[in-house]
Structures are given as C-alpha cells and as structure tokens.
Structure 1
Amino acid sequence: MSAGDIDYGFTGYTPDLGGMTEAEIMGRGRIHDVIDHQTVVLMEGRVRKTGVLERLQAWRDEDALAFSIGGRPSLIAERAVMTALLLLAKEGSAMFVTNVRDLFMFRLSDASRELLGLEKSLEAFVGHVGEKNRWYANTIRAFQRMNDLMDPFPQERRHSKTYTEIQAILRAHDVDLEVKRKARLDEYTKLFLVMTYYEQPRNIRRASKKMDISFDQTYIGTPTVKGYSKKNLAKRVADEAKVEDMRTLKPGPVDAYAGWHVSTGPRTDVGRGQTDLTDPGKKTSSAEYRWGWEINIAVRVDSEAPGQKRFPALAVAATMSLPNVRVAEEAVSLMRATMAYDLAPGVADADKQYYANSLTERLHDPTFALGYTPSTDYRVDRLGHQGGDHGALYIEGGTYCPATPDPLKNATKELVSGSIDDETYEARIKERRAFRLHQKEKPDSKGRVVLRCPALGPSPTVTCPLREMLKTRKMLPAVDGEDLPDFADKICAQHSVSFDTARNRRTAQAFEYGSKQWDEFHTHARNSIESLNNQVKSGGTEHIESASRRRVRGFGAAQIIVTMLLTNFNLRKIAAFISDKIKDDAKKQVNGEPPVALVRRRDREFHNPYTDTYPPDVKRPTKPKRSDGDETGGPPRRT
C-alpha cells in the first residue's frame, strides 16, 4: 500500500509520521489556535443583534410545505455558521467552509461550543479523517440551508455546463422567485450593516442629523472564471447540436447568472425584461472585460462639514447585482436601505454612471420620493441652458432669469472646451448666482414650488428695466436691455410663478453646480466611496474582489460572505475612529490633566437665576424643605 492509499481512519494501522506531529497533520500544516471565549460571545451577540435569526425563521416558515414528514434535526445551526464567518473575517482568514469546519472542530473552548450549540469534536488522531469529513458535511449543509432561503438564481454548480445546459437554465428561471429571494438577500445584508452602525457611540452616530451618502459599483470575481455572452449563445447551442459525442466538448461555464464587467469604456444599464448583450469580443480586448458580479455600496459622507471626519466612513448599505443590469434600481435599493437608520435622508452623491445617464423615472423620481437630493456631475450634452418654463431658464439644476447673459449661461461649456480657465469660471458662477430665481415658498406635496424674479422681493439680487418701480440702494448687477426676451412671459409679468419641480428634476442638485460648496462636497463624496472600494477590494483584511478567499459558488453565497466582510470592515473602521479620537483627546491634555471647559463670565462671576447656577467658588444656598401644603397655603397634598 502506498502512502497516498493509507486510510488514517483504520484503527488497526499506525502510520509513520516522520518528524511531523499529529496536530500538524490534523491541521494539514496549520496551527489551530483556540479562540478566546469572550470574542466568541461578542460575535455571537452581534449576530443576535442583527435580528437576522428571526428573519431566517420567518422565511423558512414562509417556504415550508403544507405537509412534511419531518427529518433529523440539524447538528449545526445557522447562528453558529454566521458567528464563525464573523470570527474568520475578524482575523483576516479566508472565508472557506473548511476553515469554518476547522474552527468548529479545533478552535473553540467547551464554553464556546455550548454557546453555539455544538457537540464536542473527536480530537483523537486515529479516525480524524472520517471525523473531519463528517463535520464538513454538517457545516456545508448548514451554510446551504441558509443560502437556499436567499439565493435568487438556484442551479446546480458542481460541474461545468454545456451552452445547451446554460440555455436550459436561463429558460427555466423563475423571475418571481428571483425577486423574492433578492429582496431577502438585500435584507440580510442590511441587517448586518445596520447592526454595525449602532455599535458606534451615540455622539458619533448623531454628529450629523442627516444621512448623506455616496454610492458606486465595484467588481467582484466568481470562483469560476469562464463566462459566456448571450449575444452569441444561440449560435453556440446550434454548434453543440452538431457534435455527435458531447464528451469531446471543452468544459464550459458553471455560473449561468454572472456577467461581463466592463473595466474600460462605456457601460450599459439594462432594465427588467431586457437582455444584456455585453460581449468581450476579440481576445485582444478581453483584458477590458472580467466575468463576475457587482457589489453596490453606499458610504456615509458629510455634506455639512466635508472632510472634517466627524464620523467614520462606514458602508451603510450594500447590494449585489449582475454587471450592466438594473444599475439605477440598485442605487434606489441602497437609498431605501438607509431608511432603517435614525437619521433623515440628506444628499445622495454619485458619478456620471447614475444620474447623468439614467432615465428620470428610474432614478431621479425615486430619489426625491425617498427624501434624498442628488449631487452629481453632468454629461457634456446637458451643460448650459436646457429648456425652461414660464419664460425662466433651466441651467444646470437651477432656474434662472430669462435675461441671464450668455457668458454666464455657457460658463461650464466654455470651461470644458478650454475657452476659459478655472479662475474665470469661478467668477462667472458667482456672478450667475445673482440671476437665479428666488424661492418664495417650500415645495408643496405635489412638487410645486413658488419662485419669483430675482429683481423682486425684500432682497433683490439684480435690477431689471421691466421692474423699474423697484428702488434699492444696493449696487446690484443690472439686466442688459439687449438680453430681455422678446415676449415677457409669466416670470417677467407676475410677482411670482408656481413651477413644477418634476420638470427640472433630471438636473436638480443639492448644491449650485460648479460652486465651491458643490466642488468640496462632490470631491469629498467621490473620494470617500473610492477609498472604501479600494480598502475592501485590494489585498488587506477583506479582499472582496478576488474569489480566491471565498470558494463557495453562486450569487447568494457570494453576497452572504461579502456581507460578513463588509460587517468586519465597518467594525474595524469604528474601532480605528474611536482609537484616533482617544489619541487626539490625549494630545489636548494640559500637564496630564484633561482640558477644562470654558465657563461664561456670567456663570463664572454671578448667579444665573434662569439656569439656577452659581459661580464655582460660591456655595449653593440650602433651599428650604418643601412642605406638604401647596404654595397657596391650602390643605396638604394627598398622597
């Protein structure tokens, strides 16, 4: 019998181990350190805090058959699997099922096993192979029980497929089941990320009363790298039909539900019911395409104090999707997920892939309906004057006077073309602000807002020949008579006009486009999401881009594991933020003593009857003991 044929589970055989120890062989060269019980308690408690255990049970009850003969109770609970995944993420280990199994077998104390509801593992060297196989089978079954409740694209994934089989899988797909399970999967991710947010101290969570976000997509790979294109799938199926012996075919794709991520060049956004025809084409251009999925992430940013780091930049929402498919709808899902926090919706920042290229009804309208206001850049063809109403002009998200000078209307166009420099552009944007219509009232429930001419009202910003009766002592920009419209529409003839905000919703923004405030926030927001993507993707602790550390196949399994990695990322960011704050506070101490808060002079030197405070060196007088009678001298109060 050769060494490779030795059955270490046979009790009658003792192998020659040479210089290797039994512990090394059982760990296949790795040392299994026991995890501190308090750490296990911490992670198990966080799993419970999410509320995901109750959701899993609700989904299981929803999917249960009306009649069932029952079965053997599971030996490993989903709670134990999620706790183990968090522990592996915390120490930066690969998210393999084998690592979860080894953690259950070798790395838990008796108290931790009891906490997670696990039986004691057989630690004897003799028979350890069969024991490891048994634990692996129970572990993967526990993971798949959880995955089966949420996987939107169930299919067999153990073997590669022919293109004929891929086509059959696509045709048998249940769209209604996909929608239901995709919602469950996104709910699972939301519950974990919300849990991390509430692990912050209250003062950090509420440094701002608004939830400002910046979102984007980032690529993650599949465990199997071979893909296909729906563009030529029918041709490949026809070619396979001509083959007599199917065993001669080369191995094909495994995951029918993944797609080509476009690394460079324009991207598409395919809606529901449409087909993504993205094709890598010739091999010379294949470096621009990668087979996998997209993780959509929203990071919390700060529109009130950009760059001041008042709170950690956490991933507050995340979903997973197929490349080039429903990009706008995934962004809406991110914004909807943030409704779970105790903050009001604020500003939603994104790059040109989103607001600049999406249809209004797919992204802009849902954004405003959720209470968010966009912040983004524009496409070149949407710069400058873009229509208007009641005589007013729509220019880059604002509503302006019809007599706005052409150099001001076309400032951004001329900057992009190189006709003017940045300094001139900033001056023109500042000057253009005076021609913007003044908002008289807040928008009503139907999205209508009352605006008036900038030459009217208590604080006019321009003078106009059509409003000559206006008298002001201010030196204001004047409307040139040559710029006046040939026909005075409502905005020039009436005191105020009601505008439908939906008509200018495509270009509406939280800040005046091109202004210093817009530039500071947009730069801060884009840097925040790009920094987060870089930290969780390339190397380091999470390394979500590469599938080499998560080998379980399938869409649902990938999002479950990425959720654990993003959860760990948030916890790391919170810990680092608090640590840095402690260091900064220590630096501010004077002679080893904490800084003394400044006291106002009136509190330092006088008695303040309003707050009933006395100077520090004055003893507070003793108040007379309150009697049982009321202040009017009436009878004693009843007890």
Structure 2
Amino acid sequence: MSAGDIDYGFTGYSPDLGGMTEAEIMGRGRIHDLIDHQTVVLTEGRVRKTRVLERLQAWRDEDALAFSIGGRPSLISERAVITAMLLLAKEGSAMFLTNVRDLFMFRLSDASRELLGLEKSTEAFVGHVGEKKRWYANTSRAFHRMTDLMDPFPQERRHSKTYTEIQAILRAHDVELEAKRKARLDEFTKLFLVMTYNEQPRNIRRASKKIDLSFDQTYIGTPTVKGYSKKDLAKRVADESKVKDMKTLKPGPVDAYAGWHVTTGPRTDVGKGQTDFTEPGRKADSAEYRWGWEVNIAVRVDSEAPGQKRFPALAVAATMSLPNVRVAEEAVSLMRAALALGLEAGVGDADKQYWANSLAERLHEPAFNLGFTPSTDYRTDRLGNQGGDHGALYIEGGTYCPATPAPLQNATKDLLGAVIDTETYRARIAGRTAFKLHVKEKPDAKGRTVLRCPALGPSPTVTCPLRELLKTRKVLEGVDSEDLPDFADKICTQHSVSFDTADNRRTAQAFDYGTKEWDKFHTHARNSIESLNNQVKSGGTEDIESASRRRVRGFGAAQIIVTMLLTNFNLRKIAAFISDKIKDDAKKQVNGEPPVALVRRRDREFHNPYTDTYPPDVKRPTKPKRSDSDETGGPPRRT
C-alpha cells in the first residue's frame, strides 16, 4: 500500500480526495470548532440587553412604505447576525460575512440554532457548495438589511467608479437622510457601549459620581484604498469627457465618502456646509496621508484620583466621521452619549485639536451646556494676558488681579522659550494663584458669576495699597505699587463685580493651568486615550485599523463592525480588571485569612481614655452599675 492509500482510520476520507477529508474541503482548510452553548446564550443575552433590536424595528417601521405587498420572511435575523459577530470578536476572528456564515453552518449546536432561530444546516458533502452559497446570501441580506437602516452615505460599492460617477454620487447626496441615519448609527454604538458599562459590578460603576472623559480620533482604513481629491475632481471629470472609450480608463475609487487622514502635519476642522479640500501634496510622502475614516472614542478617566485605577479604562462613547470634518461636533456627540451612563458630567480632556483650536460656539458652548469642563493645553498665541473685563485680566483660563506681576503672567511663555526652567515655572504658577480673583457667588442661570479682589474677603491672598484698610495677620503676597493700573476699574474700587462666564469660556479649565494638579490629570487622561487607541488598533485583538479584517464596504458597515470590536474590548477590560482585583486581594491575605488591621501603639500598649480602648492583653474593668437616683440625692430617674 502506497503512502497515498493509507487508511487514516476516520470517516470522511475518500481516495478520490487524495489525503484531504470532506470536512477539510467543506471548511476550505479551516477547523470549525463547536461554540459552547452557554457562551452563545451569554452573548445573545447581552445583545438583548442593549435594546438595540427594538430600535432597529422602530427604524424599520419608520422607513416602511405606506403600502407594501409583503414578502418572504427572512431566514436569518439581525439578532442572530449581531450575536455571531460578537462571538467572532470574542475569539479574535476576522469580521468577515463568510466567517459569520460558517459559524451559522458548522459551529452551533442544535440548542444554539434554536435560540437564534436558525434552521439546521445540511451536513452532506454532496451539494455543500450550493448550500454555502445559500447561507452566505441569507447572511449577507440580513447584515445589509441592518446597515441600510443606518448608512448615512448609501451608494453602489461593488465596482470601482469613474470620476464622473463619483461627482454624480456627491451631487445626489441627501443631507437630511445623512443626518437621520448618522444619528441612528451613533445610537446603535451608544447602546452597545452602555451595555458593557452596565456589565461592571455596581461598586466599580459608581466609584465616582462623575463621568470624566478623554477623547481623541484614530484612523481606520477603508476596504478599498484608492482615494481622490475634491480640488481637482472637476478637472478629472472634464478629462474623462474627452475619452472616447471609457474602458481604457484605469479603475477609480469605490467609496465616495471617505477622506484623507493627515498622519503628520496640521489638521483642519471643516464645519457644516463646507467642503474638505485636504489632499496629499504633489511632492509629499505618501505615508503622510491615508485614505479612510476616523473613529472618535471617549475613554473614562478619573479626575478625583488620577492613576489610581479605581475602574477599568473603558470606551464609554464612540462615533465615526470623515477625516477633517466636524471634529468639534463629534466631540460634543461623545460627551452627550457618555451622559447615558447616568453619571454627572465631569471633565473633558483632549489635545490641541479640540479645545485649543475649535470655535466656542461649536465646542465650548455645547460642552458647557452639557455640564463638561475642559482640560487641555493652550496654543502658544493664547498664553499669558488675553485681555479681560472690569480691569481684571484673563490669563490661561483664570481671572486675575490687574496688578499681577509680569513674570507671573508670562510664566508659561518663558518656560516654552527656555527663559526659565521647570522648577522656576512651578514656583511662578504657584505664586500666580494668590492673585487669582476669589469667587463670591457661583454662576447664576444666565452664566454670570460674582468675583472679588484677592485682597478682600475673609481669606485674602494678597495685600494691596488700594485696599489699605485690610487688616490681616497672615504673611501674604504684596502688590507692588509699580504694578498698579493707571486707572482703577471696578475690580479695584468695588467690593465685588459680576463677570459673564461666557467671556472667558474658551480658555476656562477644570484645573489651574500649569499646576501639578493640572499636569497630573492631563497626563493621566492623555495616556489613557493613547493607550486605548494603541490597544484596539493594529496588532491588538480588535485590530480596528486594518481593513483586511473587515472587508464589507461602506461607512455604515464599518461603524457596526467597529462597535462590535469596541464592545468586545470593553468586556475584555472588565474581565481583566476584576481578575487583577481578585489577585491583589489574594496577595493581601495571610495563610488564607484576611489581613488584620494594624493597631496603633497607644491602643496596643496604653489605655486611651478618649476612645476608652485598652490593650489586647488587658481585661477591660467592669464599670459600676448606674444608680437609679441622680448624684445629688434627688428622686430616682424615670425610665
């Protein structure tokens, strides 16, 4: 018997197939492991917890025609598709519809099929090709039924386009439909991330009453990598009109609605109704620009105890957008979505792309209305004295005395200009806080707050020649007479002055800029979002950046898949956080017993009359029984 005729001792082997089995051929060389039914039950239950299925049905009813002839019932539901995608994300598999199909066909038990409402798959080798095509068609239709409800940029994506076709797609775009479906897509993502947050134990969820955020954008690629420029689109269309045989044209782009992500260099923030003209320079390195989309992610951080890891760093809000377009508005969407967790609005930390470069009406005002306070770095042209009101100075988010010494006003400028070192900078920032106006009354409903001179009130922080009647025993910073303003405005002549917080909202921050408190939180917040982005991007379990693991085309399909991957990321982080906590608690135990609290020396060796405690080896003396009569010989006490 030759090597090719060896009987391997298992079914499915046939000499006509060489050394391959029927199972291998049906799986195209892959092993289809059966998924445990309890895992399917758990995953399907989480899908129902999101309540996204009810929203999908509501959107379908909203879009339904007034009259319809009906149709054949779908063989695969959205519930089954979403459950399958979460299962694939959990095991780190690529988010291909073929993998979803194979999961339905080969990897579910009869009980799991019944749970998901799936028919039994034919396992016969003969005819398996047609069976797989049928299952793929049903799976694809089920997925696209879902994306069609939420895709803001519907278009044909099976073939590459000429630039004339791209221009026609852009001109036919429905802006109102985009807004409606974009809101649906963001709600879909929000429901899943809220579900993951609620999977945490209550004590972890409520470690803080506030929800503090750090948010940023991260690039993800499109399944089709060829892009185009809106600047020269009209010229390319004109050139195509001169071509006689359109078949001679090179294949063009597929996705009309993507954009150029700037890897290095300044980025733009195009507002509503404007066109993004970002494109690679003719002589620029191709690595500086990449064609794709942006994922906007907000991670939960801790402004009360930065770096103490009281809870896992979860992605609590996420959206998708075109590069360079409405960056500020996407940040507002993240903050609004995060409030669905049921916590109070806290601090919103971001880099200079957001608070430092956005217009107040696009970012700062909406964030203020939601209750969030910024934390960020400043642009160099907004450091130091930025004017003021009523004689007071606006300096790096604070309102200061007009006699604040110039070296204190320009501390940050001098640090960046290498005029002073970090130690001197910290000292000047600490000294500058003494000149900050004191809050007398909190902001009212109209956003006005009452401030007063730092040399007034029950706890003054400076002394001033203009306030000579002030008497204090404290050793305070003194205002130099040379720093006094030429004209004493209201802040120097009145007991207090009402300031409109809107005038200083663009530079206001949660912490005094440059202080150790600001630096500690800002560093913690930036590290948290950068760490999250690094974990979910290329090389990680989720690998959201690489389009090779999500080949379904289109903006809506990409966000749905990214939502599944972020959901799995959060669940992994929660499990790891609880596991680490159990390990830490176990290390603290001695011989399997919980640790015993240390006893202070005064309680260990002496009687403490204040707390009435005795050393452990000393028997507490018996107290005399209280007499029914009082100590004065009066009548007995009434009981």
Does the TM-score normalized on the shorter chain lie above 0.5? yes
Residue in structure 1 matched with residue 320 of structure 2 by the alignment: 320
Aligned-residue offset at 1:15? 8.6
CA distance in 1, matches of 2:557, 2:260: 19
Residue in structure 1 matched with residue 624 of structure 2 by the alignment: none
CA distance in 1, matches of 2:107, 2:581: 34
Question: Is the aligned partner of 1:39 residue 2:76?
Answer: no
Question: Is the aligned partner of 1:463 residue 2:463?
Answer: yes
User: TM-score, normalized by length of structure 2?
Assistant: 0.92
Secondary structure at the residue paired with 1:526?
helix
Residue in structure 2 matched with residue 172 of structure 1 by the alignment: 172
Residue in structure 1 matched with residue 11 of structure 2 by the alignment: none
The within-5 A match list for 1:318-397 is 318-397=318-397
Residue in structure 2 matched with residue 516 of structure 1 by the alignment: 516
Aligned-residue offset at 1:538? 1.8
**One-letter code aligned to 1:73:** P
Secondary structure at the residue paired with 1:443?
coil
CA distance in 1, matches of 2:540, 2:241: 47
Task: Please identify, of 590-599 and 317-326, the stretch whose mean Cα deviation from structure 2 is larger.
Answer: 590-599
Question: Is the aligned partner of 1:247 residue 2:247?
Answer: yes
Residue in structure 2 matched with residue 293 of structure 1 by the alignment: 293
The within-5 A match list for 1:234-273 is 234-273=234-273
Residue in structure 2 matched with residue 593 of structure 1 by the alignment: 593
CA distance in 2, matches of 1:76, 1:342: 34
Residue in structure 1 matched with residue 121 of structure 2 by the alignment: 121
Identity of aligned residues (%): 86
Aligned-residue offset at 1:605? 11
Question: Is the aligned partner of 1:277 residue 2:254?
Answer: no
Aligned-residue offset at 1:596? 4.5
Secondary structure at the residue paired with 1:495?
coil
Secondary structure at the residue paired with 1:347?
strand
The within-5 A match list for 1:216-235 is 216-235=216-235
CA distance in 1, matches of 2:464, 2:595: 56
The within-5 A match list for 1:621-632 is none
Q: In 2 relative to 1, CA 515–605 (structure 1 residues): closer, same or farther, beyond 3 Å?
A: closer
CA distance in 2, matches of 1:27, 1:193: 33
CA distance in 2, matches of 1:64, 1:605: 78
**One-letter code aligned to 1:567:** T
CA distance in 1, matches of 2:63, 2:15: 49
Question: Is the aligned partner of 1:580 residue 2:549?
Answer: no
Structure 2: state its 5+ residue gaps: 1-13, 612-619, 622-639
CA distance in 1, matches of 2:418, 2:333: 38
What per-residue deviation string (whole Å, max 9, x for no partner) do you get for residues 594-618 of structure 1? 23467998xx999x9xxxxxxxx99
Aligned-residue offset at 1:285? 2.3
**One-letter code aligned to 1:554:** G
RMSD, aligned CA: 1.8
Q: In 2 relative to 1, CA 242–477 (structure 1 residues): closer, same or farther, beyond 3 Å?
A: same
**One-letter code aligned to 1:377:** D
Residue in structure 1 matched with residue 56 of structure 2 by the alignment: 56
**One-letter code aligned to 1:387:** G
CA distance in 2, matches of 1:284, 1:49: 49
Aligned-residue offset at 1:282? 1.6
Secondary structure at the residue paired with 1:385?
coil
CA distance in 1, matches of 2:565, 2:342: 24
**One-letter code aligned to 1:56:** L
Residue in structure 1 matched with residue 541 of structure 2 by the alignment: 541
What per-residue deviation string (whole Å, max 9, x for no partner) do you get for residues 482-528 of structure 1? 10001110000000000000000110000000000000000000000
Task: Please identify, of 15-24 and 273-282, the stretch whose mean Cα deviation from structure 2 is larger.
Answer: 15-24
CA distance in 1, matches of 2:372, 2:540: 33
**One-letter code aligned to 2:118:** L
What per-residue deviation string (whole Å, max 9, x for no partner) do you get for residues 551-592 of structure 1? 000000000000000000000000000000000000000121
CA contact (8 A) 2:211 2:339 kept: no
Residue in structure 1 matched with residue 492 of structure 2 by the alignment: 492
Q: In 2 relative to 1, CA 411–59 (structure 1 residues): closer, same or farther, beyond 3 Å?
A: same
The within-5 A match list for 1:76-91 is 76-91=76-91
Secondary structure at the residue paired with 1:394?
strand
CA distance in 1, matches of 2:516, 2:532: 24
CA distance in 1, matches of 2:39, 2:52: 20
Q: In 2 relative to 1, CA 543–498 (structure 1 residues): closer, same or farther, beyond 3 Å?
A: same
**One-letter code aligned to 2:239:** D
Secondary structure at the residue paired with 1:386?
coil
CA distance in 2, matches of 1:420, 1:538: 41
CA distance in 2, matches of 1:284, 1:268: 18
Aligned-residue offset at 1:331? 0.2
Aligned-residue offset at 1:475? 0.6
Residue in structure 1 matched with residue 110 of structure 2 by the alignment: 110
What per-residue deviation string (whole Å, max 9, x for no partner) do you get for residues 233-280 of structure 1? 000000000000000000000000000000000000001110000011
Structure 1: state its 5+ residue gaps: 1-13, 609-616, 619-639
Secondary structure at the residue paired with 1:351?
coil
CA distance in 1, matches of 2:404, 2:101: 70
Secondary structure at the residue paired with 2:16?
coil
Aligned-residue offset at 1:287? 1.5
The within-5 A match list for 1:86-101 is 86-101=86-101
Residue in structure 2 matched with residue 624 of structure 1 by the alignment: none
CA distance in 2, matches of 1:433, 1:538: 44
Q: In 2 relative to 1, CA 597–143 (structure 1 residues): closer, same or farther, beyond 3 Å?
A: farther
Aligned length: 596
Residue in structure 2 matched with residue 206 of structure 1 by the alignment: 206
CA distance in 1, matches of 2:508, 2:598: 44
Aligned-residue offset at 1:37? 0.1
**One-letter code aligned to 1:442:** K
What per-residue deviation string (whole Å, max 9, x for no partner) do you get for residues 75-120 of structure 1? 0000000000000000000000000000000000000000000000
Aligned-residue offset at 1:342? 1.9
Question: Is the aligned partner of 1:147 residue 2:158?
Answer: no
Residue in structure 2 matched with residue 191 of structure 1 by the alignment: 191
**One-letter code aligned to 2:295:** I
What per-residue deviation string (whole Å, max 9, x for no partner) do you get for residues 297-341 of structure 1? 000000011001000000000000000000000000000001101
CA distance in 2, matches of 1:464, 1:418: 32
Q: In 2 relative to 1, CA 518–71 (structure 1 residues): closer, same or farther, beyond 3 Å?
A: same
